[in-house]
Amino acid sequence: MNDRYLCALRREPVDCTPIWIMRQAGRYLPEYRATRARAGSFLALAKTPELACEVTLQPLDRFALDAAILFSDILTVPDAMGLGLYFAEGEGPKFERPLRDAASIEKLAVPDMETELGYVMDAVRLIRRELHGRVPLIGFSGSPWTLACYMIEGGGSDGFARVRALAYENPTLLHRLLATTTAAVIAYLKAQAAAGAQALQVFDTWGGLLSPRLYREFSLRYLQQIAEAVAGLEPPLILFGKGTGQFAAELAATGCAAVGLDWTTDLASARAACGDRVALQGNLDPTVLAASPEVIEREAKGVLDSFGVGSGHIFNLGHGITPDINPEHVAVLVDAVHRFSRRSGDG
């Protein structure tokens, strides 16, 4: 019913700028914390389609958001490849079996989507059913580079020094890992599309850690392969990167529908660099949501103004919402974006 988000991705006219929020289902919502407590853990929540569906819908019941995003995690793919994902309390994601030698990289295989990742596809099908067409559903994957960061390091890290050292010392081995991971990502996105995902977003959270030469070699090249592989599918592709705004035009040239930007890039410059080849998604600094409602409204207007007039803007934060945010501030933001961007009836 509300297809503002899909229209904006196609750069078609919309009545007002659509908005969704990265990590919109998450710990800042008391109802999320309650469901997570019932599930026992984040992973149990993500692996139980009924509960994943429940938390996906929670932010939509509170706020006038224009899209739903599948509740899952980017690390489900390496988990299904046998690395053993777990969450140590207060420490973020970890792998029991990180990739520490050539042999473990060489024996990696693409997992079967309907068995090893069947719980994700079941969640997509269930969410589509429960949404009743209210808003479109976004499916997602991590980028091959960002997944490789966690697979080599074995968990989160300040600078992912291990995988960056591998890029210099044994590029052939890293390319081998990225090739297998890219095949898995493509199969994962295609399976989500077949299960009912209406848009597909790839998160390249750690692309900005690389020098420009290495970014093009180890991240952009594989994003290009993904864009080509999903080009024939119905759902549009959004390529989000953190710290990769300087590559916006190159990302646009992959053939994706939209480029997602963090708050360190000016939307006007990105738009000038990309021309009208793609829509742009972003890019409010997530810390703004901790400020007063007046500041939130002012900064939301600033982001809308920086994109300027015309279609092809999807409002979002420049990265995920943090657990400390007051949900009422999200309501202020969603309302401000719709109100300030409302086009007059005559277009």
Nearest-CA neighbor of 200 among 112, 303, 265, 124?
Answer: 124
Query: Is 176 labeled as catalytic in the residue annotation?
Result: no
What is the secondary structure of 296-341 as a DSSP string? HHHHHHHHHHHH-SSS-EEEEESSPPPTT--HHHHHHHHHHHHHHH
Does 26 sit near ligand CP3 (CB under 6 A)?
yes
Spatial separation of the C-alpha atoms in residues 89 and 68, rounded to whole Å: 27
Nearer to ligand CP3, 69 or 332 (CB): 69
> Which residues, numbered 72-111, are part of the site for ligand CP3 (CB under 6 A)?
72-75, 92-93
Does 36 sit near ligand CP3 (CB under 6 A)?
yes
- 3, 66, 73, 262: the catalytic one is 73
> Which residues, numbered 196-215, are part of the site for ligand CP3 (CB under 6 A)?
203, 205
Nearer to ligand CP3, 110 or 138 (CB): 138
With residue 259 as reference, give the H or E element that holds it. strand 258-260
For the chain, the farthest-separated pair of C-alpha atoms sits apart, in whole angstroms, at 63
The answer to whether 241 touches 207, Cβ cutoff 8 Å, is yes
Nearest-CA neighbor of 135 among 231, 24, 32, 33?
Answer: 24
Query: Is 36 labeled as catalytic in the residue annotation?
Result: yes
Does 19 sit near ligand CP3 (CB under 6 A)?
no
Nearer to ligand CP3, 140 or 307 (CB): 140
What lies within 8 Å, CB to CB, of 179 at 6+ separation is: none
Q: How far is the CB of 74 from ligand CP3 (least distance, A)?
A: 4
Nearer to ligand CP3, 46 or 252 (CB): 46
What lies within 8 Å, CB to CB, of 307 at 6+ separation is: 17, 267, 268, 271, 280, 313
Query: Is 73 labeled as catalytic in the residue annotation?
Result: yes
Q: Which stretch binds ligand CP3 (CB under 6 A): 68-76, 191-199, 261-269, 288-296?
A: 68-76
> Given the rule CB under 6 A, which residues bind ligand CP3?
22-27, 36, 42, 69, 71-75, 92-93, 140, 156, 203, 205, 320
Enumerate the known binding-site residues for substrate.
Answer: 23-27, 73, 150, 205, 319
